[in-house]
Amino acid sequence: MILANITQLWSAAWPAGLIMFTLAVVFAIALLIASEKLKVTVDPKVDQVHQILPHLDCGACGFANCSQYAKAVIANPELIGRCAPGGQKVAAAIGNVLNLQVSDAGPAKKPIVHCRARTEDKTFYAVYQGIQTCTSANALASVQACKFGCLGFGDCVRACKFDALHIIDGLAVVDYTKCTGCAACSKACPLNLIEMVPFNDENMMAVACSSREKGKVTRSMCAVGCIACGICAKQTDLFKVADNLARLDYINYKPSEQTETALAKCPTGVIVYRGPTAPPPRKPKQKPAANAAT
């Protein structure tokens, strides 16, 4: 009786089982064929380039991570040289992988904060109690008197992945021993105070101000702002004064007796050095120059 029941069940079940087995074989063959037909061939050079990159995923190249940049630079060799942390060494190594001669892109760019005003140097209208970001504070006109100066809430600090920026006494300060030149801080500053500058020397001279107010107004708001007196421009053609602000030609800058004289004679001490071994800024003179712009 039991044997008969088993035989009856088997007779009813085996066709379904055979169908399932046949379908499984067919699907397996179909998937195998599809995997071969649709297989994406990865260029081995992509992996070679990826190994060359510093794996910091900083985004300076314009891509989300080093892996994406490696694929992009293989597809478009014109992207060689975009790895700021890797610099010329990495660019040359990528060129070797692609059998291309890579020209020297020049000195690496590093950030310079065009402001030197710390909390004690600034004039404030009121105590800001809003959202503690530069972007939010910049939306209000009553945070500090100088609308061009560093707000000191650290948007640049939060953007930096390398702990290369810190807010010290209300001012963003770059730690050049950690900076990779990724430019994240420059992009994060809502006031565009941080400029990526080619460092032609270990320490770069800079005009640490962005105010375009007239000299008398700037001086009333900030103890260390540029008053557009033009003394620096009289010493060397590397300095120009426009829109009530002195500017330095960073591309052609070279240390010289003239640039040192410009720094020494600057009445507000707005001309400074920036870099890993830069000397501290000079203290401003007690009174502005007699021919300051008003």
pLDDT for 228 equals 95
pLDDT in tens, 148-207: 999 999 999 999 999 999 999 999 999 999 999 989 999 999 999 999 999 989 999 999
Which CATH number describes the domain made up of 109-274? 3.30.70.20
List, for residues 27-83, the tens digit of each pLDDT value.
777 777 766 665 556 678 888 889 989 888 888 888 889 989 989 988 898 888 888
- Name the average pLDDT for the chain: 86
Per-residue confidence (pLDDT) for residue 106, from 0 to 100? 78
Going by pLDDT thresholds of 50, 70 and 90, the confidence category of residue 291 is: very low
Look at the domain 45-97 and name its fold. 3-methyladenine DNA Glycosylase II; Chain A, domain 3 (1.10.15)
Query: What angle do the packed helices 66-75 and 44-52 form, to 10 degrees?
Result: 130
> Domain limits of the chain?
45-97, 109-274
pLDDT tens for 65-80 read 998 998 998 889 888 8
pLDDT of residue 8: 61
The H or E element spanning position 272 is strand 271-274
pLDDT in the model for residue 190: 95
